[in-house]
Amino acid sequence: MQVSDFNFHLPEELIAQKPLEDRAGARMLTLNRNTGEYEDHRFREFPDILQEGDVLVLNNSRVIPARLFAHRAGLHTQKGHKTTGRIQILLTEQVNEWEWKVLARPGRKVLTGERLTFDDNTLNAEVIAHGEFGERTLRFETVADFYGAIEKLGHIPLPPYIHRPDNAADRERYQTVYAEQRGSVAAPTAGLHFTPEILQKLRERGIQIEYLTLHVGLGTFQPVRVDKVEEIHLHTEHYTLPQTTAKAVNAAKRDGRRVIAAGTTTVRTLEHCASIAPCGKLEPHSGATSIFISPGYEFRIVDALLTNFHLPQSTLLMLACAFGGRERVLAAYKHAVEAGYRFFSYGDCMFVS
């Protein structure tokens, strides 16, 4: 299968540049994956579309202000004068307490062994490893409160297709209302539509809400660079499956009730955990996954999927097509384009069941 099989035409004006004031006011396209039929709705109708006894699983990862700006220390020009080249650093994955994998821009200027300083020595780091496409590993000097420092210095890492600087409102709006476990460098965007009122209505309707954590990392930002789907390899992302969630999902599968995944991150976590589960039952644990789901995959856990509209030829679109069927999902996307739906992170959503 070719990556180009997942292309579609998207007018640039449909790429949402800012969020709606009302989270639940987003449009929602429902798709029946068995018949291919789709209907136009609003997300505030979501509780009424679900069924009593459904288990809804949400990703409670919290986005950190992972975009930082640094200067290269100790450089000299040909005339002997020091220069401080400005480097954009995107934290993508925490290796241990003080080491992070990052994306550096411009990456070609950041060499192993160099030292970087952030905001007049508030943070300092050494480049200890060098990878492709701007990937680097930094070792930060010990500070009293590392996360406090990046909360002060960092910027919310809006995706590159949002053509504006981040602002104060993004710190709240590019975050789910239930975000708790910090560590993501991109929002689990299907969750951005939920409000406390929607969550309460879901509970009143008899829907069981459970949480897991998957910290979104580098794979969100890196484009697919191969032609064949079979050659795609995703970066590793870290997750935690709590005991209450494992128990609830196991009970739902045993009783024939649906498991609803909010977002592709939730799908990947549940399906990865199922792939390593003894006797097919989920066990609470923490780990890392690089699972890649594309058409042909047999889903073990997820019965319905809430997801935003994804980039052409992206691994997230491939996952959606694996769940809903490539032809049916792309036909629904064509309708969404023609109907003027808003696309990508701050855009509208789709419910596939």
**221-273 pLDDT, tens digit each:** 678 889 999 999 998 999 999 999 999 999 999 999 999 999 999 999 999 99
SS3 351: strand
Question: CB count, 10 Å around CB of 13?
Answer: 10
In this structure, whether the domain defined by 3-63+168-352 belongs to CATH 3.40.1780.10 is answered with: yes
User: Which fold, 67-153?
Assistant: Thrombin, subunit H (2.40.10)
Q: Where are the domains of the chain?
A: 3-63+168-352, 67-153
Cα separation, 113 vs 120, in Å, equals 20
Output Rg (C-alpha) for the chain, integer angstroms: 21
Do 56 and 203 form a contact (C-beta atoms < 8 A)?
A: no
What mean pLDDT comes out for the span 269-291? 95
Q: Which residue has the tokens 């010990």?
A: 142
Summary mean pLDDT of the chain: 93
| Residue among 253, 255, 256, 282 nearest 269 (CA) | 282
Cα separation, 79 vs 61, in Å, equals 49
Statement: the pTM of the whole predicted model exceeds 0.75: yes
Reported as half-sphere exposure (CB side, CA atoms, 13 A), residue 225 has a value of: 8
What mean pLDDT comes out for the span 188-209? 98
- The pLDDT tens digits for 119-157 are 878 899 999 999 888 899 999 999 999 999 999 999 999
| Residue among 6, 11, 12 nearest 313 (CA) | 6
Distances (CA, A) of 293 to 118, 155, 161, 349: 38, 31, 24, 20
Cα separation, 148 vs 167, in Å, equals 18
